[in-house]
Amino acid sequence: MFTQLGGTVTDYIGEAVMTGHSTYEATAYAYVMVPNPDPEGSRDVVAFIFVATASGTFVNEDLIEGTYVGGLYLASQDTNGDLIPDVEPPMISIPPGNFVDKRTPMVP
């Protein structure tokens, strides 16, 4: 859908905070960029904002289990220009779900 608009999706940007010995909460943002409609504009502009929140538990040194929820917002729902939506609800809600991830070992 976004490529038909001539758009691209950025990588997710966000942070995770440890909330306990083996638990964390995270929020991440990604942006759908489209060509600037202003012929004088030199940069792409944000058309949509993805927001995802998750909480998880490190079950062991290799396994993470958790839940997530998300939403897709119009860029106009960011009323103060900080690239974080200020107006609810999202245009499209991503229902809660569960995930299981294998943790990537760190290289010494």
**pLDDT averaged over 10-residue windows placed end to end, the chain, 108 residues:** 68 92 94 85 87 94 92 94 92 94 73
Could you tell me if residue 64 is inside a domain? Answer: yes
Structure confidence at residue 106 (pLDDT)? 65
Split into its structural domains, the chain has a count of 1
Structure confidence at residue 37 (pLDDT)? 81
* Residues 6 or more apart whose Cβ sits within 8 Å of residue 103: 58, 61, 62, 63, 64
Could you tell me if residue 106 is inside a domain? Answer: no
Structure confidence at residue 2 (pLDDT)? 55
17 neighbors 42 (Cβ within 8 angstroms): no
Domain that holds residue 96: 8-101
Could you tell me if residue 1 is inside a domain? Answer: no
Could you tell me if residue 71 is inside a domain? Answer: yes
Could you tell me if residue 92 is inside a domain? Answer: yes
Strand-pair partners of 29? 13, 51
Q: What is the pTM of this model?
A: 0.78
